[in-house]
Amino acid sequence: MQYEAVIGLEIHAQLLTESKMFCGCPIKFGAEPNTQTCPVCIGMPGVLPVMNKKAIEYVIKTGLAVNCKIAPYSRFARKNYFYPDLPKGYQISQYELPLCEGGGIGITVNGSTRKIGLTRIHLEEDAGKNIHEGAGNHSFVDLNRAGTPLMEIVSEPDIRSPQEAAEFVKKLRAIVRYIGVCDGNMEQGSLRCDANVSVRPIGQKEFGTKTEIKNMNSFRFVEKALEYEIKRQIKVLNEGGRIIQETRLWDSGKGITESMRSKEEAHDYRYFPDPDLVPVEVDDAWIEQITAQLVELPDARRQRFITQYSLPEQDADLLTSERSTAEWFEQAVKSGGDPKAVSNWMMGEFMRLLNEEGKQIDESALKPKQLVDMLALIDKGTISGKIAKTVFEEMYKTGKEAEAVVKEKGLVQISDTAGIEAVIGEILDKNPNEVERFRAGDEKLMGFFVGQIMKAMKGKANPAIVNEILKKKLGS
Ligand code: ADP
Ligand code: ZN
Ligand code: MG
């Protein structure tokens, strides 16, 4: 039997507001436990929540970016359950009337683009954190995170492979980062992804029973966990078993998913409208105001990069995956850089050096103009493309200008024909056997000669002139 996978994702994104969802406590990652709290977010009796308008704006902004319908009227509900990190005994969330519905995101896998529909985006509050490490046979509760605004984005079951699922998360992450509503940090948990997955025989309309997978804190783990879970489900079915609807935890160490608890149903939560909060009304004027703040999104920018700068798709993909990278590129082009040359240096040396240090482009001191100046030195023939790598690395590390680096390190390219000719003469004299073999037809030796000459001239000889003289002398 051939099976296909059906996947729907639920993504939680912590919003980048200054304060919490229903109180004025600041949001700070890594603060001393229980220092960012007040009677509201630790659930004291008799206190009342007050909505954070910015958080609502951020959800609307996200909804607009992915073409959702923004609800003119929505409401908060209480989702009741007991857990030590939830001091009120209920989470304020949205249930039957979410802020956004519909919309979708286009994803491209192996060259083909598909639209993944969105069911809804709603706003809720995050819970605190239970800490089990370093507590002996006790556990601690840290409520700093309790009450942080959390946006939940639910996809339709439109995703058909682990690769598509990872691509969807990547795309969504790029969007929320572009519009500045979430930092998208999966390791620190500001973007978390739960995956619902089932399998069905190819050709069957009805969905199979799904499981929900949690605890995947990177794109790679989303893909790996789903690959594992799909195989597991197919094996169970092929052995005549049934899939149990349950929540499973991804264990990245073991590379498997393990049963955590049986699936709870909506009625288990006894949802009801929160009587402490007024309904949220969004009028057209507010939507217009938020629309005006929207920036160009990754897809549109990618398309524009291809047409406006004649870049290959691969370049456009990489350069637009982060807003700061796209901005850096456009500044370089504005200062006179050739788009493809700028792109090559950014995707090559620049990314390599950034990756080595685990840095983002906006954390680097290197300015777009510095790269453009260096490209001009290559064009003028002052430095060779090879030497430019040394210059680039030095600029990157010290922040010095290209010209200064070239002067200080004596990297000016040697284009003096007589000088180069003399060195070539010496090399050929020293290697009579190779010269003979070359003349007998072993043309691969050209590389050997160029290598020897460049070594003798510390890489500074103008390669075009070297090639020209060498060919003449070897009589080829
Ligand atoms: P639940 O009742 O478990 O909350 P929902 O219908 O609300 O389920 O869907 C939650 C998520 O699971 C959504 O992302 C949805 O697309 C996805 N989903 C629903 N049914 C299936 C299925 N049979 N297989 C895979 N994913 C599914
Ligand atoms: Zn508080
Ligand atoms: Mg549901």
Average pLDDT of the segment spanning 67-92: 97
> How many whole angstroms separate alpha carbon 5 and alpha carbon 233?
10
Answer for the pair 106, 86: CB distance below 8 angstroms, yes or no.
no
DSSP state letters, 286-322: HHHHHHHTPPPPHHHHHHHHHHHH---HHHHHHHHSS
Read off φ and ψ for residue 337, nearest 5 degrees.
-75, 145
At 344-395, the pLDDT tens digits run: 999 999 999 999 999 989 999 999 999 999 999 999 888 888 889 999 999 9
User: What domains sit in the chain, N to C, each tagged with a CATH number?
Assistant: 3-287 (no CATH), 298-409 (no CATH), 417-474 (1.10.10.410)
What is the radius of gyration, based on Cα positions, of the chain? 30
Distances (CA, A) of 352 to 107, 115, 343, 357, 415: 26, 33, 13, 9, 30
Average pLDDT of the segment spanning 315-327: 94
The best mutation among 122, 210, 229 to test binding of ligand 1, ranked by most ligand atoms within 8 Å of the C-beta, falls on 210
At 32-57, the pLDDT tens digits run: 999 999 999 999 999 999 999 999 99
Answer for the pair 99, 288: CB distance below 8 angstroms, yes or no.
no
> How many whole angstroms separate alpha carbon 385 and alpha carbon 383?
7
Alpha carbon nearest to ligand 1 atom 7, residue = 154
Residues sharing a CB contact under 8 Å with residue 359, sequence separation 6 or more, in sequence order: none
Tell me, using a 6 A CB cutoff, whether residue 10 lines ligand 1: yes
Q: 12 CA to middle of ligand 3, Å?
A: 13
Which atom of ligand 1 has the smallest separation from the CA of 9?
14
Proximal ligand: closest to the CA of 247: 1
Handedness of CA 384, 386, 388, 391 (dihedral sign): negative
**Residue 29 confidence (pLDDT) above 90:** no
The answer to which of 134-148, 331-345, 456-470 has the lowest mean pLDDT is 456-470
Q: 266 CA to middle of ligand 3, Å?
A: 7
Say what percent of the chain tops pLDDT 70.
100
Q: Record the pTM.
A: 0.85
Proximal ligand: closest to the CA of 95: 3
What does the pLDDT read at residue 414? 80
Average pLDDT of the segment spanning 178-193: 95
What does the pLDDT read at residue 11? 98
Average pLDDT of the segment spanning 238-261: 95
What does the pLDDT read at residue 152? 98
- CA 319 from chain centre, in angstroms, equals 12
If phi > 0 it is left, if psi is from -120 to 50 it is alpha, else beta; for residue 381 that is: left
What does the pLDDT read at residue 279? 96
What six digits make up the tokens of 207?
A: 């969905």
Average pLDDT of the segment spanning 145-152: 97
The answer to which of 298-312, 392-406, 462-476 has the lowest mean pLDDT is 462-476
CB-count burial class (<10 Å; 0-12, 13-18, 19+) for 464: exposed
> How many whole angstroms separate alpha carbon 238 and alpha carbon 288?
54
Which residue reads 């350069």 in tokens? 319
Which residue reads 């920036």 in tokens? 295
What does the pLDDT read at residue 243? 96
At 266-294, the pLDDT tens digits run: 788 999 999 999 999 999 999 999 999 99
Tell me, using a 6 A CB cutoff, whether residue 8 lines ligand 1: yes
Using alpha carbons, select from 353, 316, 357, 354 the residue that is nearest to residue 333. Answer: 316
Q: 287 CA to middle of ligand 3, Å?
A: 27
**Residue 332 confidence (pLDDT) above 70:** yes
What does the pLDDT read at residue 215? 92
What six digits make up the tokens of 357?
A: 């240090």
Containing 341, the helix (H) or strand (E) segment is: helix 339-345
What does the pLDDT read at residue 245? 95
CB-count burial class (<10 Å; 0-12, 13-18, 19+) for 284: exposed
What six digits make up the tokens of 343?
A: 């792109």
The best mutation among 196, 205, 222 to test binding of ligand 1, ranked by most ligand atoms within 8 Å of the C-beta, falls on 196
Proximal ligand: closest to the CA of 196: 1
> How many whole angstroms separate alpha carbon 94 and alpha carbon 73?
12
> How many whole angstroms separate alpha carbon 451 and alpha carbon 409?
21
Which atom of ligand 1 has the smallest separation from the CA of 208?
23
Mean pLDDT of the chain, nearest integer:
94
> How many whole angstroms separate alpha carbon 243 and alpha carbon 241?
7
Q: 64 CA to middle of ligand 1, Å?
A: 23
Tell me, using a 6 A CB cutoff, whether residue 197 lines ligand 1: yes
Answer for the pair 101, 72: CB distance below 8 angstroms, yes or no.
no
* Structure confidence at residue 262 as a pLDDT band (50, 70, 90): confident
What does the pLDDT read at residue 476? 61
DSSP state letters, 404-453: HHHHHHT-PPB--HHHHHHHHHHHHHH-HHHHHHHHTT-TTHHHHHHHHH
Average pLDDT of the segment spanning 225-242: 97
At 406-439, the pLDDT tens digits run: 888 877 778 788 888 999 999 999 999 999 999 9
